[in-house]
Structure 1
Amino acid sequence: MLSVTQTGPAGALRASPSMLLRSSGGNRSDDVFGHSGQLLRRRERGNLRVVNFIGLTGPAGVWGLASANSMLLAASEINRRGGILGREIEPSYYDAGADIEDVVQQARDLIAHEEVDVFMGSHISAVRVALRKAIGGRVPYVYTPVYEGGERTPGVMAIGETPRHQSRPAIDWLANARNAKRWYLIGSDYVWPWLAHKATKKYITEAGGQVVGEEFVAMGEHDHSAAIDRIRAARPDVVVISLIGTDSIVFNRAFAEHGLAARMLRLAGAMDETLLLGIGSDNSENLYCSSGYFVGRDSAPNEAFRARYDAMFGRCSPIPGSIAQSNYEGLQFLAAAAAKAGSVSARPLLQASSRMAYHGARGEIVMKAGRAHMPIHLAEAQGLDFKMIKTF
């Protein structure tokens, strides 16, 4: 857990994943916490204690540091404006990549000891499903990344992209512009790929395509030889990839190294510039991604976000791709919902957020009936960057 951070002269977070798992003995940033050089060993009850479960280990750990940075940047900005309903945000982090039962027990303990006002989450949906049951609506829970959709649990507010808006237009575009007819689906073996694939197969059929294969892979699996052999034998036009973090990096490298990148298109979910760096420019041919956010997209909100991120953490800090950036928007969403509700309690926040708008690096995000609506951008990898193709 991290509740106190060591910051350098430029306000940059100096923390490895192992440091984020425990309290640090460093000083708090003035911008984030508003206490110049003062080490607070006990949380102040006047602060708004936002506990973020982010992946710091496991396949999703590749996004961990940039996710923490993104949340700290949002906390800095909001605290400079006077906090949320006059309360300074006090962020802390727990590892969502640990055993799910351990993650759930940490949440239960935090609630039992009244150590949390709001939960945030940037982690896989399997953790969300377990946490929402443990939390039971007693504390508001903001879930930030791309997910399978359909979240209606009282007290849970999801702001990420869903298959209907993220995958459907990309599938239609590939069917029309690239004449894609045969599709193969491969994903991690948990709830997001299960349900995302269910929707994806429907969209493929509606686009006149055919699913020629589907499989799910255990998280952490790094030998994809057999899966690649099955893909080669199926001869798809497009491989839809729903693998997480480093698992996606390893698969995409192997896919290209086996000579398939030049012969087949790839459409990847939960893909961003962080993973693209790991995949490498030699392995990114014919790789497509659709998302509400890209680091390199030209827009005033994104350019302002990137400038503030670089100023706070340095230009060599971890890239805030779509998964990491969602942590920034999670706090901006919370601030807007609380301002409308006049409260940070679960029920008023849920009611206020069912129909509202907030602003982040993606621009304006409109919440309708609890669903986040935003422009979706289709991009193709070119080396280590994404080239914008179309906005839906």
Structure 2
Amino acid sequence: MYFRRRGASGKLRIGGFICCSGSPGIWGPCATSSAQLAVAEINKRGGILGREIEMSIYDAGGPTEEVVERAEQAIAFDELDLVVGLHTSAVRVALRHVITRHRIPYIYTPVYEGGERTPGVMAIGETPRWQSRPSIHWLAQEKKATRWYLIGSDYVWPWQSHRAVKRYIKETGGHVVGEEFVPLGEDNHEPHLARICAAKPDVVLISLIGTDSITFNRSFGECGLGATSLRLAGAMDETVLLGIGADNSENMFCASGYFPAVGSRANDDFQSRYSAMFGPNAPPIGSLGQSSYEGLRFLEAVAAKAGTLAMGPMLAAARNVVYSGARGPVTVRDGHARMPMYLAEADGLDFKLIKPI
């Protein structure tokens, strides 16, 4: 067995497992830049408990078995002390077995289905209870939505999220008129759109990711459905909206813990530092990629509270902690993150905030 000399270099070696390819690869540039900004800021403050962060980025896109092998190699040969992940929940489910076997902490940052309780895994993203439920209730009340069609990518986040969504729709007196799951990478959406058109929903709830969401929503707009059906998207941000285009984003709503349009001191400062570090051609900021910045700020707060990077005390500290990033104060209680949440509507290539939810 290979035993790593953790901390032997004096540096804290973090593996950033970020989707840089495949359907969610569109979030890779912002996620990488956001992580690099957080590392630079934390190191300027003296690192994590006096240890300078040394971060390496690994592609978490592509076949899951290849990502798992990449993680095994990185942990063994690059002597990683900790992993931060921005990738699909399918990859998280596979990676957590690697992480627990090697007993190193794993921070998972993006929106996800909720319920992660694996020892060593700390998930801090938005969950359906706080993201989808108030949005569904708002659309039911304000837009009189009762008929819902659910479409998502064919993996664990949409599967589990749709289970919760059906309960929330039922709470409003609405009902689901159709549901389907689409293989990752599918770009022929004519059959899906034909079924949606026939079902005549008031709202199409979309749990497609990355470029799959782009191609679907483009086709949705081009066939005229945008004028007759509302859309509520889960893993949606400005990065995806840019790909969809202003002409195809009519009547599209999104809820998230982060939008660049949020007018707060924390967000303004984050965007200023991001622009200063990466310049005018920096990757556009969106909630999915930005979450990697939050993950490292969360780590900084957890380590400070624990006073050590040892696994047991860190995980105990992570169960109940408050940290502050670009999203403002985020409270983790019993392992569940609560952050400010906003409902927004697409307005051209940006999201216009409607209200906090």
**What TM-score, normalized by structure 1, do the two folds share?**
0.88
Aligned residues: 350
TM alignment of 1:244-263, pairs within 5 A: 244-263=209-228
Instruction: Give 3-state SS (helix, strand or coil) of 2:337's partner.
Output: strand
Q: 1:72 aligns with which of 36, 60, 74?
A: 36
* 1:102 equivalent in alignment to 2:66: yes
Q: Deviation digits for residues 26-50 of structure 1, max 9, x if unmatched?
A: xxxxxxxxxxxxxxxxx97111000
Q: Deviation digits for residues 326-372 of structure 1, max 9, x if unmatched?
A: 01011100010001111223222110011110000100000000110
Give the letter for the 2:27 counterpart.
Answer: W
How high is the sequence identity, in percent, across the aligned residues?
Answer: 61
Q: Could you say which residue in structure 2 is the equivalent of 1:349?
A: 314
Q: Could you say which residue in structure 2 is the equivalent of 1:203?
A: 168
Instruction: Give 3-state SS (helix, strand or coil) of 2:111's partner.
Output: coil
Q: Deviation digits for residues 112-141 of structure 1, max 9, x if unmatched?
A: 346100001000000000000121160000
Instruction: Give 3-state SS (helix, strand or coil) of 2:17's partner.
Output: strand
Instruction: Give 3-state SS (helix, strand or coil) of 1:249's partner.
Output: helix
Asked if the contact 1:53–1:121 (Cα under 8 Å) also holds between the matched residues in 2, the reply is yes
Q: 2:92 aligns with which of 114, 128, 145?
A: 128
Q: Could you say which residue in structure 2 is the equivalent of 1:26?
A: none
Give the letter for the 2:119 counterpart.
Answer: P
4+ long deviations beyond 6 Å:
none
Asked if the contact 1:147–1:161 (Cα under 8 Å) also holds between the matched residues in 2, the reply is yes
Q: 2:50 aligns with which of 74, 80, 86?
A: 86
- Over aligned residue pairs, what C-alpha RMSD do you find? 1.1
Q: 1:285 aligns with which of 229, 247, 250?
A: 250
**What TM-score, normalized by structure 2, do the two folds share?**
0.96
* 1:318 equivalent in alignment to 2:302: no
Instruction: Give 3-state SS (helix, strand or coil) of 2:131's partner.
Output: helix
Instruction: Give 3-state SS (helix, strand or coil) of 1:315's partner.
Output: coil
Give the letter for the 1:132 counterpart.
Answer: R
Instruction: Give 3-state SS (helix, strand or coil) of 2:80's partner.
Output: coil
Give the letter for the 2:161 counterpart.
Answer: A
Q: Could you say which residue in structure 1 is the equivalent of 2:132?
A: 167
Give the letter for the 2:22 counterpart.
Answer: G
Q: Could you say which residue in structure 2 is the equivalent of 1:32?
A: none
Q: Could you say which residue in structure 2 is the equivalent of 1:115?
A: 79
Asked if the contact 1:262–1:285 (Cα under 8 Å) also holds between the matched residues in 2, the reply is yes
TM alignment of 1:329-348, pairs within 5 A: 329-348=294-313
| Further displaced range: 149-158 or 94-103 | 94-103
Q: Could you say which residue in structure 2 is the equivalent of 1:33?
A: none
CA distance in structure 1 between the aligned counterparts of 2:310 and 2:223, rounded to whole angstroms: 52
Q: Deviation digits for residues 68-90 of structure 1, max 9, x if unmatched?
A: 10000000100000000000111
> Structure 2 unaligned runs (5+)?
1-6
TM alignment of 1:118-197, pairs within 5 A: 118-136=82-100, 138-197=103-162
* 1:235 equivalent in alignment to 2:189: no
CA distance in structure 2 between the aligned counterparts of 1:144 and 1:222, rounded to whole angstroms: 27
Q: Deviation digits for residues 289-331 of structure 1, max 9, x if unmatched?
A: 0000001211110000000000000122111210111010111
Instruction: Give 3-state SS (helix, strand or coil) of 1:45's partner.
Output: coil
| Further displaced range: 143-152 or 94-103 | 94-103
* 1:59 equivalent in alignment to 2:23: yes
TM alignment of 1:1-80, pairs within 5 A: 45-80=9-44
